[in-house]
């Protein structure tokens, strides 16, 4: 690899870095909230919370917000009066994304534009954002719900980030991974130059990250996709899996690779907005048709849709499993349904 840029900064000074990034545009970083960390726009550098394991909601909401306004209109006025809601994007810096979540952006890219049909909203935000990845702290234990190893992701994989950070005692080492990232590092004057020791530390850290063990099973994309096609009508399996499922939307809303949305017109006193909001295949009305017919009335059918979409349909369509093993669904599930165990059980059938 060409001599790429490696810089360092003491952790206390991260506020200064943040202040510069906030001047340049929008800074989005983990913030401590009651239930845990979440990615939010930073108004005060002091809010940045680096001591987090992973966020409750996935960072996909930076590119694909839960609610996005498209058009504002007034009823009984001509169509021409309707106004498209401008995005007014400033350059954005997404700070502190864990390697597994960085991977999720790549997967969603396939859906939102690489498939040929371009979602302009996603793409505009994506192009506009510099991703600053942050390795998991290797000294801390892995959460029991995580299984990103299974999907071939390491705890300190820099791929996909523009800049990648690893923690070294009281310092952060920042490495430019892409041209965009290197350029940004060059503009941050408060960063110090790293020496050869730091270089070695960084390389070793990434290597060590690969050895950090989460839950692991051998999963072959094609084989697991085929498996789920085979057991699609295995009612016994699906009923067993879904006996506990409440069919709420937590797992899909916290998931970094779930992308279903609903476009709705919301009107108050004739003033309306056409917007998209997240929807979830776990909701009863997700598949409800105008006629009143609903092809997925049972919880087992809806859970099957979710799991098969991730582990089977996605492989067929985009050649990738739509799951990064971040463990959010397992952690947030009110009844502790674990997708890893489900897949494990399926492979044994």
Partner 1 sequence: MTNFKQIEENLKKEAKKLLEAGSVAVVLAYTKGADEKHPQPFAAKKADDVANIIFNEYCNHNLARYIVRYAPGTKIAVAVKAADSRAVVVLIQEEKIKRENLILLGIPVSGMKNQKTGEIIDEKTTGGLTNPVVYDVLLGEEIHTGKPVSPYTVLEQYEKMDKDARFAFWKAQFDKCIRCYACRKACPMCYCDPCFIDQTKPRWADKSPQSHGNLMYHLTRFQHLAGRCIDCGECTRACPVDIPLYLFHKKVAKDCEEMFKQAAGMKIEDKLVMVDFRVEDSDKILE
Partner 2 sequence: MEFEPKILGIACNWCTYTGADLAGTTRLKYPQNLRVVRVMCSSRINPSFIFRAFQLGADGVLVGGCHPGDCHYNTGNLYARRRLAVTKKILDFAGLEPSRFRVEWISASEGNKFAEVVKEFTEHVQILGPQTKFKIAGVS
- Taking the complex as a whole, how short is the minimal distance between the CB of residue 265 and partner 2, in angstroms? 16
Q: Which does 269 bind (CB under 5 to 8 A by kind): partner 2, partner 1, none?
A: partner 2
Tokens representing 70?
A: 């498209």
Q: Does 76 contact partner 2 by CB under 8 A?
A: no
**Which C-beta is closer to partner 2: that of 140 or that of 271?**
271
Among 74-82, 117-125, 265-273, 289-297, the segment contacting partner 2 (CB under 8 A): 265-273
State how beta strands 171-176 and 163-168 pair: antiparallel
Q: Which does 58 bind (CB under 5 to 8 A by kind): partner 1, partner 2, none?
A: none
Q: Which does 323 bind (CB under 5 to 8 A by kind): partner 1, partner 2, none?
A: none
Q: Does 269 contact partner 2 by CB under 8 A?
A: yes
- Taking the complex as a whole, how short is the minimal distance between the CB of residue 259 and partner 1, in angstroms? 16
Q: Which does 271 bind (CB under 5 to 8 A by kind): partner 1, partner 2, none?
A: partner 2
Site string for partner 2, 128-167 (x = CB under 8 A): ----------------------------------------
Tokens representing 183?
A: 């350029």
Among 112-120, 221-229, 264-272, 294-302, the segment contacting partner 2 (CB under 8 A): 264-272
Q: Does 86 contact partner 2 by CB under 8 A?
A: no
**Which C-beta is closer to partner 2: that of 196 or that of 268?**
268
Q: Out of 285, 293, 295, 348, which residue is the one contacting partner 1 (CB under 8 A)?
A: 285
If one counts every other C-beta atom within 10 angstroms of the C-beta of residue 243, the result is 12
- Taking the complex as a whole, how short is the minimal distance between the CB of residue 284 and partner 2, in angstroms? 20
**Which C-beta is closer to partner 2: that of 275 or that of 309?**
275
The Cα 221–Cα 11 span in angstroms is: 40
* Angle at the Cα of 111 from the Cα atoms of 68 and 264, rounded to 5 degrees: 30
Q: Does 74 contact partner 1 by CB under 8 A?
A: no
Q: Decide: 328 and 58 in contact? Cβ < 8 Å.
A: yes
DSSP string, 109-173: HIIIIITS---HHHHHHHHTEEEEEE---TTSPPPTT--GGGGT--TT--TT-SEEEEEETTEEE
Closest CA to 99 of 129, 137, 143: 137
Q: Does 271 contact partner 2 by CB under 8 A?
A: yes
**Which C-beta is closer to partner 2: that of 44 or that of 266?**
266
Q: Provide CB contacts within 8 A for 133, sequence distance 6+.
A: 96, 97, 98, 99, 102, 158, 160, 161, 163, 164, 165, 177
Near partner 1 in 126-185, by CB under 8 A: 144-145
Helical H segments across the chain, by residue range = 14-24, 60-63, 99-109, 120-127, 179-187, 196-211, 221-230, 235-242, 250-254, 299-308, 314-318, 328-332, 339-348
Among 117-125, 171-179, 198-206, 258-266, the segment contacting partner 1 (CB under 8 A): 258-266
Closest CA to 130 of 21, 272, 237, 213: 21
**Which C-beta is closer to partner 1: that of 99 or that of 249?**
249
Tokens representing 35?
A: 């239930």
Q: Which does 341 bind (CB under 5 to 8 A by kind): partner 2, partner 1, none?
A: partner 1
Q: Which does 336 bind (CB under 5 to 8 A by kind): partner 1, partner 2, none?
A: partner 1
Closest CA to 342 of 212, 231, 214: 231
Among 202-210, 249-257, 266-274, 310-318, the segment contacting partner 2 (CB under 8 A): 266-274
Using only C-alpha atoms, what is the Rg of the chain?
22
Residues lying near partner 2 in the complex (CB under 8 A) are found at: 268-269, 271
């Amino acid at each position: 690899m060409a001599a790429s840029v490696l810089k360092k900064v003491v952790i206390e000074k991260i506020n200064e870095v943040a202040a510069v990034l906030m001047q340049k545009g929008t800074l989005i970083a983990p913030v401590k909230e009651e239930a845990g960390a979440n990615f939010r726009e930073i108004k005060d550098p002091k809010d940045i919370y680096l001591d987090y394991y992973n966020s409750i909601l996935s960072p996909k909401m930076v590119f694909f917000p839960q609610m996005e306004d498209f058009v504002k209109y007034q009823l009984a006025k001509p169509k021409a009066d309707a106004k498209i809601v401008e995005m007014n994007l400033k350059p954005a810096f997404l700070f502190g994304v864990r390697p597994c979540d960085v991977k999720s952006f790549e997967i969603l890219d396939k859906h939102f534009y690489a498939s040929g049909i371009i979602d302009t909203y996603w793409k505009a935000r994506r192009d506009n954002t510099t991703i600053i990845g942050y390795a998991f702290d290797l000294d801390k234990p892995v959460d029991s719900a995580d299984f990103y190893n299974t999907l071939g992701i390491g705890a300190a994989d820099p791929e996909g980030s523009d800049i990648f950070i690893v923690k070294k005692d009281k310092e952060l080492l920042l490495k430019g991974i892409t041209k965009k990232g290197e350029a940004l590092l060059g503009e941050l004057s408060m960063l110090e130059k790293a020496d050869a020791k730091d270089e070695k530390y960084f390389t070793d850290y990434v290597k060590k990250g690969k050895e950090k063990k989460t839950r692991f099973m051998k999963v072959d994309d094609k084989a697991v996709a085929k498996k789920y096609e085979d057991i699609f009508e295995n009612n016994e399996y699906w009923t067993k899996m879904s006996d506990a499922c409440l069919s709420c939307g937590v797992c899909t809303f916290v998931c970094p690779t779930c992308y279903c949305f609903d476009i709705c017109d919301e009107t108050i006193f004739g003033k309306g907005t056409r917007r998209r909001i997240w929807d979830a295949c776990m909701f009863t009305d997700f598949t409800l048709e105008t006629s009143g017919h609903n092809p997925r009335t049972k919880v087992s059918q809806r859970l099957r849709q979710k799991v098969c979409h991730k582990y089977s349909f996605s492989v067929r369509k985009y050649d990738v499993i739509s799951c990064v093993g971040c463990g959010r669904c397992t952690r947030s599930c009110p009844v502790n349904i674990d997708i890893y165990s489900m897949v494990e059980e399926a492979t044994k059938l």
